[in-house]
């Protein structure tokens, strides 16, 4: 059920005096799609299809897939009218069906290989249902089939049920990425994230850009499938930079990974030159690699492991905590404070997302020196950039005066949300980030 919370207190306060409200460009969806969470749009398709046909139909949309339900995470949208909608993704889908008067079950993009919830994989490659699921009692049930639908009517409305997508035809939800937002793990493949940057740069500058803008390295490629994946990201250019070099003895990848797949068109790449992948037909076939001057300014592909970052620490940027809406990146060690510190964070725009990166052989940590949250505010800590299941969620009643927390990797993500319902002059926090704290 969508809970609609009208912030009467806030409206009252807003009328009583000036209040600072940060407005942001919201994520947008294509026509007919609704925003499911910060990064995904969904649409109900009311032409019953077998599972695979439904999946193929969704893939006709740009970046499309059958919909997944990542978590019961609460998403909130802040409108100028001071209305805050708080909803769960699963309930949002049920509601979307109700709005269309659809009482029929609807395919989710989920395949289960056994009757264990950990064997169910989302079609959009965002993981399994081990962390969050909403199966009806006795499900998933592999004897009923490998596919899963969502019930949208009756007392089990919202529950997930196994069925055989080779014989059952149902309506289905398609999802596409929202525009105007950065997807956390773009172009995911085999637990890595990739980005094609069209900026024309020399090899040295491209390497720095991958490290600083993407927290990765120039792409390394380890199989024909991965090569195809990278090639498919790029269109309409002749060459694109990849991160392989040779020293005359062996070949090596910039990201330090093992050279276990060779796609050079010639047997003898140049020792003084860098490398590129041919895209449009040229001196070698598309997809093949060739030597290319390190100084030539061309587009490039960056890669990083999902949830990790290879970024080497350097002093973080100057940060104005009052302007925290969105994502802010920090590396190395430093200090961070709540918006409007040392005054209360009340009324400042959130959520604020902070990504802390430490050297790749260290564990990222945060240590609070001051921590006074009210019941309406939360600080959630996650392992990695794409983490969706918090390591811990701190809020008014559970947050101690201080504390030290560790990521499971060299990257720690922290999301601060302030629901702005209650004024309390003492609410604020300050912390050190880094490692070995």
Ligand X SMILES: *[C@@H]1O[C@H](CO)[C@@H](O)[C@H](O)[C@H]1NC(C)=O
Q: What is the DSSP string of 300-342?
A: EEEEEETT---PPP-PPPP--GGG-BEEEEEESSEEEE-TTTT
Smallest separation (angstroms) from ligand X to the CB of 333: 24
Backbone angles phi, psi at 66, to 5 degrees: -65, 150
Tell the smallest beta-carbon distance from residue 404 to ligand X (Å).
Answer: 29
Q: Which is nearer to ligand X, 160 or 330 (CB)?
A: 160
Q: Which is nearer to ligand X, 162 or 291 (CB)?
A: 291
**Residue 46 vs 228, nearer CB to ligand X:** 228
> In the chain, helix, strand, coil percent, each to 5?
15, 35, 50
The residue (of 296 and 424) whose beta carbon lies closer to ligand X is: 296
Residues near 76 by beta carbon (within 8 Å), at least 6 away in sequence = 84, 85, 86, 351, 417, 419
Q: Give min distance, CB of 291 to ligand X, in A.
A: 5
Least Cβ distance, residue 227 to ligand X (angstroms): 9
User: Tokens 């101690």 belong to which residue?
Assistant: 400
E runs forming strands in 248-305: 251-253, 274-278, 289-292, 298-305
- Residue 219 CB, nearest distance to ligand X (Å)? 12
Q: Which is nearer to ligand X, 46 or 272 (CB)?
A: 272
Q: Judged by CB, which is closer to ligand X: 84, or 227?
A: 227
Binding site for ligand X (CB under 6 A): 117, 132-133, 190, 195, 197, 199, 209, 213-214, 222-223, 225-226, 236, 270, 272-273, 291-293
Using the Cα atoms of residue 313, residue 317, residue 318 and residue 324 in order, give the sign of their dihedral: negative
268 or 425, CB closer to ligand X? 268
Cα–Cα distance, 108 to 286 (Å, whole number): 36
Q: Which two tokens stand for residue 419?
A: 């629901």
Nearest distance from C-beta of residue 407 to ligand X, angstroms: 21
Phi then psi dihedrals of residue 375, to 5 deg:
-65, -20
What is residue 348's DSSP assignment?
-
Q: How far is the CB of 116 from ligand X (least distance, A)?
A: 6
């Amino acid at each position: 059920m969508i809970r609609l919370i009208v912030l009467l207190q806030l409206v009252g306060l807003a009328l009583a005096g000036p209040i600072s409200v940060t407005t942001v460009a919201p994520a947008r969806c294509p026509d007919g799609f609704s925003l499911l969470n910060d990064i995904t749009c969904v649409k109900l398709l009311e032409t019953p299809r077998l599972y695979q046909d439904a999946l193929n139909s969704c893939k006709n949309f740009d970046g499309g897939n059958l919909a997944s339900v990542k978590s019961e995470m609460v998403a909130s949208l802040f409108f100028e009218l001071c209305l805050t909608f708080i909803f769960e993704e699963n309930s949002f889908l049920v509601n979307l069906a109700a709005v269309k008067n659809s009482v029929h079950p609807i395919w989710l993009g989920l395949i289960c290989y056994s009757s264990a919830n950990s064997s169910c994989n989302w079609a959009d490659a965002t993981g399994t249902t081990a962390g969050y699921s909403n199966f009806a009692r006795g499900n998933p049930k592999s004897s009923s089939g490998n596919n899963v639908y969502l019930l949208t009517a009756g007392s089990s409305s919202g529950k997930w049920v196994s069925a055989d997508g080779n014989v059952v035809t149902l309506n289905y939800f398609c999802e596409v990425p929202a525009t105007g937002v950065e997807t956390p793990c773009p172009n995911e493949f085999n637990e890595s994230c990739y980005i094609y940057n069209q900026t024309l740069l020399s090899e040295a500058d491209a390497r720095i850009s991958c490290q600083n803008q993407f927290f990765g390295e120039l792409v390394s490629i380890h199989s024909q499938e991965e090569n195809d994946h990278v090639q498919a990201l790029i269109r309409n250019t002749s060459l694109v930079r990849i991160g392989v070099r040779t020293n005359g003895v062996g070949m090596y990848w910039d990201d330090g990974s093992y050279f276990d797949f060779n796609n050079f068109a010639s047997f003898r790449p140049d020792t003084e030159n860098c490398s590129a992948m041919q895209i449009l037909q040229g001196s070698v076939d598309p997809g093949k690699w060739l030597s290319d001057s390190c100084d030539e300014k061309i587009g490039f592909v960056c890669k990083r492991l999902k949830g990790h970052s290879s970024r080497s620490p350097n002093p973080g940027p100057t940060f104005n905590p009052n302007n925290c809406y969105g994502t802010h990146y920090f590396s190395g060690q430093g200090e961070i404070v709540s918006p409007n510190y040392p005054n209360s964070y009340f009324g400042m725009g959130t959520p604020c997302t902070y990504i802390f990166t430490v050297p790749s052989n260290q564990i990222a940590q945060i240590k609070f020196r001051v921590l006074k949250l009210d019941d309406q505010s939360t600080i959630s800590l996650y392992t990695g950039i794409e983490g969706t299941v918090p390591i811990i969620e701190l809020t008014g009643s559970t947050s101690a005066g201080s504390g030290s927390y560790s990521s499971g990797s060299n990257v720690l993500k922290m999301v601060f949300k302030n629901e702005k319902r209650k004024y309390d002059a003492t609410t604020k926090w300050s912390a050190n980030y880094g490692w070995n704290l």
